[in-house]
């Protein structure tokens, strides 16, 4: 980036021959640059008017000490330092005229020639400056464009990141919801599957039981069939036996008949024998007579009779035997008959058993067929259950694959989220870098203008509107026009807030600056303006109205929120708060518990109260002796302290000054951060300052103590502007010590801090003069470049209980 200073050609403006060579081209360049910038910003035209220290002082005194506008008085050293390049063309011409009129002892002709030569050179110089001015305006245009581009890019990146984050968050929420429903579905499916598997196992068990009972029934049936077969065999064998016995009985009956016929034959024979015996006896008798004769014959007959008796005995034995045989046969027949009867009975029993067995078999068959049908039903159920299991397996598989897909998607989304988060971090880094680059480009002093709305007790005359806002693309949101008795004064700032701008809208614009205090920068935010213009409203807000909270509570809320969110990145912060006010060049500790008594003593008997000495150490830190510094951990604690300070101020108000605006209020938050994972250390400071009202003496019409107050305020505000302009001009001596305020803020006003000034404006037509002064001052501040903000990354000093600024 090319800065105007780098483009500036070497200035070789020589003095006229008779002039001293003590003039410094450097000063001239600086003054001219200031003039050009003022002209660019639409402020007062100041071409050729030197803005050196002396002239400004003279002007300051004439305008109540703080208005640093152009002086109409000619330079007092014109006669003695006519060769100085601090003179404008008009000055030189006036001088020449004056000199020509006086006709003193000098050779005017020669001097006139020299002057003409000098004027020629000046004309060249003016042309060169015009060129330079053109190139500056072009360069500035370029810078503005690049700035706008960077800002746009920054905003676009932020919007994109926010959109992306929101989109990803919604996708993740959706995916998580899907995931949960899928997991629930999976659990349901798995429980259903479990139930199906259990019912399948039960059915399998039932099938096995049935099969087991079927087998046992089949065994029973086989056994019964075998028993039936054996019974049938027994029946057939019994039938055969019966037949055989029948045959045997028949044969025995035949034998008995035979024996009966034989017996009758034997009986007939016996009869015949008996007859023969009788015949023989007769014969015997005859024979006995024949006895003798016959004895022999008798003996013979006896012999015959014995033979016959023995024959009868054998026949009788034979008969007995036959009879025994017959009896035996008869008993055998009886036994066989009995057996036959028994067999018949057993056959009948077997038949009935067979019937029972057949019934049983039928029953068994029926049961078997029933069980078959049951088995078939069970098999069908089993097939259905198996199908179900298959379906649930498939659906479980599908669910699992879907779940895995979802998990992959979730991990992909998480990866993308992590990417987005890292991009976000990168974007955040880029944003910080761009923000710092923007600040570097703009210079580290930025000026915001805020116009408060008309108050109820103020006249609301729409015809007499003193403030308007340009609508051109370039000046929209940044320009403000002030109408003073028909004359329009145009100003441009980094941002202009119209009366309808809310506290939130204002805070959004400074939130990045507040954030950089946590990043280790020194940040200073001032509210400048006349009494009643809205400085306290801007800084503190309206008490008891949370939506109208001012920049101080909002900044602290953001700082503590960011502190919490940075914990995850390893950052730990310690913070200390101090609050003071500067009244009539005296410091008052607003957090001191015994402050009121000491201050009261001062006001009552006129003796000075506690003196707070300001010191700066070698590290560029400021120490205010005896000032109360409080370690804070939360917004609540700071809110409590702010309340305490407000009470102290109101006590002071009644005791010392009627209006709190007659003192400068300085809130300081010192931030010390350590990142244990990266060993980084940062030390930032946030100063939020509600300056005293900037009325001119003429307007305030003060006398006595009020006059003293106003003079003190003007002195410190004038010192503040002197310091800022001296820093902008990179002067060797910067008058920090000229007031308590500037001396206190020295480290934060130095080149390496970030400064933002709010210029608060009242829309009241009666305040137009004050508004114009404020706008002019702010416009000059806005044109300043006092350095590049630098991050404080050094370690902590040993005494952390001191007050740092
Ligand atoms: N932007 C705004 N919106 C609404 N009311 C406002 C706004 N700015 C200021 N006011 C009101 O204007 C009045 C004066 O404001 P404030 O006290 O903040 O001015 P000031 O410049 O701080 O004055 P002092 O220096 O006396 O404190 C208050 O009643 C305040 O509520």
Q: Give the CATH number for residue 686.
A: 3.40.850.10
With a 6 Å cutoff on the Cβ, whether 433 touches ligand 1 is: no
Give the CATH number, domain containing residue 397: 1.10.287
- pLDDT at residue 579 above 90? yes
CA–CA gap between residue 104 and residue 545 (Å, rounded) = 74
Q: Could you tell me if 362 and 430 lie in one domain?
A: yes
Residue 787: pLDDT band with limits 50, 70, 90: low
Mean pLDDT (whole number) for 351-380 = 76
Contacts of 723 (CB under 8 A, 6+ apart): 734, 735, 736, 738, 742, 749
Given this model, what pLDDT does residue 428 score? 67
Q: What percent of the chain has pLDDT over 90?
A: 14
Given this model, what pLDDT does residue 284 score? 67
CA–CA gap between residue 254 and residue 267 (Å, rounded) = 19
Provide φ and ψ at 120, rounded to 5°.
Answer: -60, -45
Residue 220: pLDDT band with limits 50, 70, 90: confident
CA–CA gap between residue 482 and residue 472 (Å, rounded) = 16
Instruction: Return the SS3 of 427.
Output: helix
CA–CA gap between residue 40 and residue 299 (Å, rounded) = 206
Q: Select from 451, 452, 504, 530 the residue to mutate for testing ligand 1; criterion: most ligand atoms less than 8 Å from CB.
A: 452
Instruction: Return the SS3 of 470.
Output: coil
- pLDDT at residue 349 above 90? no
Given this model, what pLDDT does residue 550 score? 93
Cα–ligand 1 centroid distance for 540 (angstroms):
10
> How many helices and strands, by DSSP H and E, does the chain display?
16, 14
Q: Could you tell me if 576 and 544 lie in one domain?
A: yes
- pLDDT at residue 295 above 80? no
CA–CA gap between residue 529 and residue 535 (Å, rounded) = 7
Residue 6: pLDDT band with limits 50, 70, 90: very low
Instruction: Return the SS3 of 356.
Output: helix
Residue 605: pLDDT band with limits 50, 70, 90: very low
CA–CA gap between residue 428 and residue 220 (Å, rounded) = 90
- pLDDT at residue 302 above 50? yes
- pLDDT at residue 36 above 50? no
**Predicted model pTM:** 0.49
Cα–ligand 1 centroid distance for 511 (angstroms):
21
Q: Taking the CA of residue 215 as centre, how many other CA atoms within 13 Å lie in the half-sphere pointing to its CB?
A: 5
CA–CA gap between residue 178 and residue 165 (Å, rounded) = 19
Q: Does residue 488 have a known ligand-binding role?
A: no
Cα–ligand 1 centroid distance for 450 (angstroms):
11
- pLDDT at residue 50 above 50? no
Q: What is the CB neighbour count within 10 angstroms for residue 107?
A: 10
Given this model, what pLDDT does residue 247 score? 78
Given this model, what pLDDT does residue 551 score? 94
Q: Does residue 34 have a known ligand-binding role?
A: no
Q: Could you tell me if 596 and 689 lie in one domain?
A: yes
Q: Taking the CA of residue 108 as centre, how many other CA atoms within 13 Å lie in the half-sphere pointing to its CB?
A: 11
Q: Strand (E) positions, 413-508?
A: 445-451, 467-468, 479-484, 487-492, 495-497
With a 6 Å cutoff on the Cβ, whether 452 touches ligand 1 is: yes
Mean pLDDT (whole number) for 710-720 = 84
Query: What's the pLDDT tens digit per position in 664-709?
Result: 999 999 999 998 888 888 889 999 999 988 766 555 556 667 777 7
- pLDDT at residue 265 above 90? no
Name the closest-CA residue to atom 1, ligand 1: 452
Question: Total structural domains in the chain?
Answer: 3
Give the least confident one: 590-599, 668-677, 773-782.
590-599
CA–CA gap between residue 242 and residue 253 (Å, rounded) = 16
Q: Select from 537, 542, 645, 759 the residue to mutate for testing ligand 1; criterion: most ligand atoms less than 8 Å from CB.
A: 537
Domain assignment of residue 163, yes or no: no
Which atom of ligand 1 is least distant from the CA of 662? 25
Average pLDDT of the chain, as a whole number: 75
Q: Could you tell me if 422 and 456 lie in one domain?
A: no
Cα–ligand 1 centroid distance for 140 (angstroms):
35
Q: Does residue 530 have a known ligand-binding role?
A: yes
Q: Could you tell me if 389 and 466 lie in one domain?
A: no
Given this model, what pLDDT does residue 660 score? 52
With a 6 Å cutoff on the Cβ, whether 670 touches ligand 1 is: no
- pLDDT at residue 45 above 50? no
Which atom of ligand 1 is least distant from the CA of 450? 1
Given this model, what pLDDT does residue 460 score? 64
Cα–ligand 1 centroid distance for 413 (angstroms):
50
With a 6 Å cutoff on the Cβ, whether 660 touches ligand 1 is: yes
Cα–ligand 1 centroid distance for 506 (angstroms):
15
Which atom of ligand 1 is least distant from the CA of 455? 12
CA–CA gap between residue 716 and residue 737 (Å, rounded) = 10
Given this model, what pLDDT does residue 669 score? 93
| Final residue before a domain boundary, out of 422, 442, 462 | 442
CA–CA gap between residue 99 and residue 119 (Å, rounded) = 15
- DSSP for 475-498, written as a single string: TTTTEEEEEETTEEEEEE-SEEE-
Mean pLDDT (whole number) for 767-786 = 85
With a 6 Å cutoff on the Cβ, whether 769 touches ligand 1 is: no
Strand partners, 685: 522, 670
CA dihedral 320, 321, 326, 331 (to 10 degrees): 100
Given this model, what pLDDT does residue 601 score? 38
Residue 497: pLDDT band with limits 50, 70, 90: very high
Q: Could you tell me if 435 and 506 lie in one domain?
A: no
Contacts of 633 (CB under 8 A, 6+ apart): 575
Strand partners, 541: 549
Mean pLDDT (whole number) for 371-394 = 78
Residue 104: pLDDT band with limits 50, 70, 90: low
Q: Which of 7-21, 167-181, 546-560 has the highest mean pLDDT?
A: 546-560
Q: Could you tell me if 680 and 556 lie in one domain?
A: yes
Q: Does residue 531 have a known ligand-binding role?
A: yes
Q: Taking the CA of residue 176 as centre, how many other CA atoms within 13 Å lie in the half-sphere pointing to its CB?
A: 7
What's the domain range around 752? 446-782
- pLDDT at residue 105 above 60? no
The single residue listed with the structure tokens 């006010």 is 581
| Final residue before a domain boundary, out of 104, 126, 158 | 158
Given this model, what pLDDT does residue 444 score? 65
Domain assignment of residue 530, yes or no: yes
Domain assignment of residue 694, yes or no: yes
Mean pLDDT (whole number) for 592-609 = 51
| Final residue before a domain boundary, out of 378, 413, 442 | 442
Residue 51: pLDDT band with limits 50, 70, 90: very low
Query: What's the pLDDT tens digit per position in 67-99?
Result: 333 333 344 443 444 344 455 677 777 777 776
- pLDDT at residue 393 above 60? yes
Domain assignment of residue 193, yes or no: no
With a 6 Å cutoff on the Cβ, whether 502 touches ligand 1 is: no
CA–CA gap between residue 213 and residue 207 (Å, rounded) = 10
CA–CA gap between residue 336 and residue 250 (Å, rounded) = 13
Cα–ligand 1 centroid distance for 246 (angstroms):
148
Residue 606: pLDDT band with limits 50, 70, 90: very low
CA–CA gap between residue 286 and residue 301 (Å, rounded) = 12
Angle among Cα 290, 291, 296 to the nearest 5 degrees reads 105
- pLDDT at residue 759 above 90? yes
CA–CA gap between residue 252 and residue 257 (Å, rounded) = 8
Contacts of 637 (CB under 8 A, 6+ apart): 630
Query: What's the pLDDT tens digit per position in 169-214?
Result: 888 888 888 888 888 888 888 888 888 888 888 888 888 888 888 8
Q: Could you tell me if 598 and 657 lie in one domain?
A: yes
Q: Does residue 313 have a known ligand-binding role?
A: no
Given this model, what pLDDT does residue 176 score? 86
Mean pLDDT (whole number) for 594-598 = 52
Cα–ligand 1 centroid distance for 45 (angstroms):
32
Residue 505: pLDDT band with limits 50, 70, 90: very high
Q: Could you tell me if 527 and 659 lie in one domain?
A: yes
Cβ contact 65:86 at 8 Å: no
Q: Does residue 534 have a known ligand-binding role?
A: yes
Given this model, what pLDDT does residue 490 score? 92
Mean pLDDT (whole number) for 45-71 = 37
Instruction: Return the SS3 of 618.
Output: coil
Name the closest-CA residue to atom 11, ligand 1: 534
Query: What's the pLDDT tens digit per position in 402-452?
Result: 888 888 888 888 888 888 777 777 776 776 677 666 656 555 688 999 999
Domain assignment of residue 519, yes or no: yes
Q: Could you tell me if 550 and 691 lie in one domain?
A: yes
Domain assignment of residue 590, yes or no: yes
Q: Could you tell me if 652 and 741 lie in one domain?
A: yes
The single residue listed with the structure tokens 């280790």 is 520
Cα–ligand 1 centroid distance for 451 (angstroms):
10
Query: What's the pLDDT tens digit per position in 716-752?
Result: 888 888 888 888 788 888 898 899 999 888 887 776 7
Name the closest-CA residue to atom 24, ligand 1: 661
Domain assignment of residue 799, yes or no: no
Q: Select from 507, 529, 532, 581 the residue to mutate for testing ligand 1; criterion: most ligand atoms less than 8 Å from CB.
A: 532
Given this model, what pLDDT does residue 580 score? 92
Cα–ligand 1 centroid distance for 533 (angstroms):
6
Strand partners, 666: 580, 689
Q: Select from 536, 646, 664, 710 the residue to mutate for testing ligand 1; criterion: most ligand atoms less than 8 Å from CB.
A: 536
Q: What percent of the chain has pLDDT over 70?
A: 74
Q: Which residue has the higher pLDDT, 322 or 492?
A: 492
Name the closest-CA residue to atom 2, ligand 1: 452
Tokens of 3: 């800065």
Instruction: Return the SS3 of 787.
Output: coil
Q: Could you tell me if 376 and 504 lie in one domain?
A: no
Name the closest-CA residue to atom 15, ligand 1: 534
CA–CA gap between residue 506 and residue 499 (Å, rounded) = 11
With a 6 Å cutoff on the Cβ, whether 534 touches ligand 1 is: yes
With a 6 Å cutoff on the Cβ, whether 657 touches ligand 1 is: no
With a 6 Å cutoff on the Cβ, whether 661 touches ligand 1 is: yes
Which atom of ligand 1 is least distant from the CA of 537? 18
With a 6 Å cutoff on the Cβ, whether 455 touches ligand 1 is: yes
With a 6 Å cutoff on the Cβ, whether 536 touches ligand 1 is: yes
Given this model, what pLDDT does residue 801 score? 34
Domain assignment of residue 182, yes or no: no
Burial of 250 (0-12, 13-18, 19+ CB in 10 A): exposed
């Amino acid at each position: 980036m090319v800065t105007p200073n780098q483009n500036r050609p070497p200035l070789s403006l020589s003095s006229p021959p008779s002039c001293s060579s003590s003039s410094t081209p450097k000063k001239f360049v600086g003054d001219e640059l200031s003039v050009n910038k003022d002209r660019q910003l639409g402020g007062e035209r100041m071409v050729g008017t030197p803005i050196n220290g002396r002239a400004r002082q003279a002007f300051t005194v004439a305008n109540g000490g703080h208005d640093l506008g152009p002086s109409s008085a000619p330079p007092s050293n014109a006669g003695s330092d006519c060769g100085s390049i601090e003179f404008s063309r008009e000055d030189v011409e006036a001088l020449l005229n004056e000199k020509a009129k006086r006709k003193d002892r000098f050779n005017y002709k020669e001097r006139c020639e020299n002057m003409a030569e000098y004027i020629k050179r000046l004309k060249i110089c003016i042309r060169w400056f015009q060129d330079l001015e053109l190139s500056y305006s072009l360069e500035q245009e370029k810078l503005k464009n690049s700035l706008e581009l960077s800002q746009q890019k920054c905003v676009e990146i932020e919007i994109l990141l926010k959109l992306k984050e929101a989109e990803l968050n919604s996708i993740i929420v959706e995916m998580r919801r899907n995931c949960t429903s899928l997991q629930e579905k999976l659990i349901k499916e798995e429980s259903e599957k479990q139930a199906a598997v259990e019912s399948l196992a039960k059915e399998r068990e039932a099938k096995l039981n049935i099969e087991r009972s079927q087998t046992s029934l089949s065994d029973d049936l086989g056994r019964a069939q075998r028993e039936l077969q054996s019974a049938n065999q027994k029946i057939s064998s019994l039938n055969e036996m019966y037949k055989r016995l029948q045959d045997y009985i028949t044969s025995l009956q035949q034998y008995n008949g035979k024996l009966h016929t034989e017996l009758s034959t034997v009986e007939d024979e016996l009869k015949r024998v008996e007859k023969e015996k009788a015949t023989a006896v007769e014969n015997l008798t005859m024979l006995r007579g024949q006895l003798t004769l016959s004895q022999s014959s008798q003996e013979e007959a006896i012999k015959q009779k014995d033979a016959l008796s023995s024959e009868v005995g054998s026949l009788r034995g034979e008969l007995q035997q036959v009879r025994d045989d017959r009896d035996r046969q008869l008993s055998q027949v009886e036994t066989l008959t009995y057996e036959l009867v028994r067999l018949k009975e057993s056959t009948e029993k077997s038949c009935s058993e067979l019937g029972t067995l057949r019934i049983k078999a039928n029953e068994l068959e029926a049961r078997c067929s029933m069980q078959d049908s049951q088995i078939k039903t069970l098999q069908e159920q089993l097939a259905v259950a198996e199908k179900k299991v298959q379906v649930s397996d498939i659906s479980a598989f599908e669910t699992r694959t879907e779940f895995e897909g979802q998990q992959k998607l979730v991990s992909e989304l998480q990866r993308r989220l992590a990417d987005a988060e890292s991009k976000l971090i990168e974007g955040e880094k880029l944003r910080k870098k761009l923000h710092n680059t923007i600040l570097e480009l703009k210079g580290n002093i930025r000026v915001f203008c805020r116009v408060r709305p008309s108050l109820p007790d103020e006249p609301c005359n729409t015809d007499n509107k003193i403030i308007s806002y340009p609508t051109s693309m370039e000046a929209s949101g940044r320009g403000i026009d002030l109408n003073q008795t028909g004359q329009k004064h145009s100003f441009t700032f980094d941002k202009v807030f119209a009366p309808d701008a809310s506290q939130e809208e204002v805070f959004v614009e400074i939130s990045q600056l507040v954030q950089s205090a946590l990043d280790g920068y020194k940040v200073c935010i001032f509210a400048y303006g006349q009494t009643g213009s809205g400085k306290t409203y801007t800084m503190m807000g309206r008490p008891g109205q949370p939506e109208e909270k001012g920049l101080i509570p909002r900044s602290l809320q953001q700082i503590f929120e960011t502190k919490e969110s940075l914990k995850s990145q390893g950052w730990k912060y310690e913070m200390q708060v101090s609050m003071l006010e500067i009244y009539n060049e005296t410091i008052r500790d607003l957090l001191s518990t015994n402050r009121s008594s000491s201050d009261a003593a001062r006001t009552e008997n006129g003796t000075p109260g506690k003196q707070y000495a300001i010191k700066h150490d070698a590290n560029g830190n400021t120490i205010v002796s005896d000032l109360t510094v409080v370690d804070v951990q939360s917004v609540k604690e700071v809110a409590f302290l702010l309340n305490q300070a407000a009470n102290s101020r109101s006590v002071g108000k009644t005791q010392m000054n009627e209006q709190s605006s007659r003192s400068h209020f300085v809130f300081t938050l010192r931030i010390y951060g350590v990142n244990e994972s990266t060993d980084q250390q940062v030390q930032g400071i946030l100063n939020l300052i509600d300056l005293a009202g900037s009325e001119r003496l003429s307007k305030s019409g003060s006398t006595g103590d009020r006059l003293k107050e106003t003079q003190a305020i003007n002195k410190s505000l004038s010192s503040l502007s002197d310091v800022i302009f001296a820093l902008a001009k990179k002067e060797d001596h910067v008058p920090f010590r000229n007031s308590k305020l500037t001396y206190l803020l020295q480290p934060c006003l130095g080149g390496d801090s970030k400064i933002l000034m709010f210029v608060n404006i009242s829309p009241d037509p009666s305040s137009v003069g004050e508004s114009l002064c404020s706008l002019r001052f702010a416009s000059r501040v806005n044109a300043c470049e006092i350095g590049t903000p630098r991050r404080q990354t050094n370690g902590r000093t040993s005494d952390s209980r001191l007050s740092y600024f």
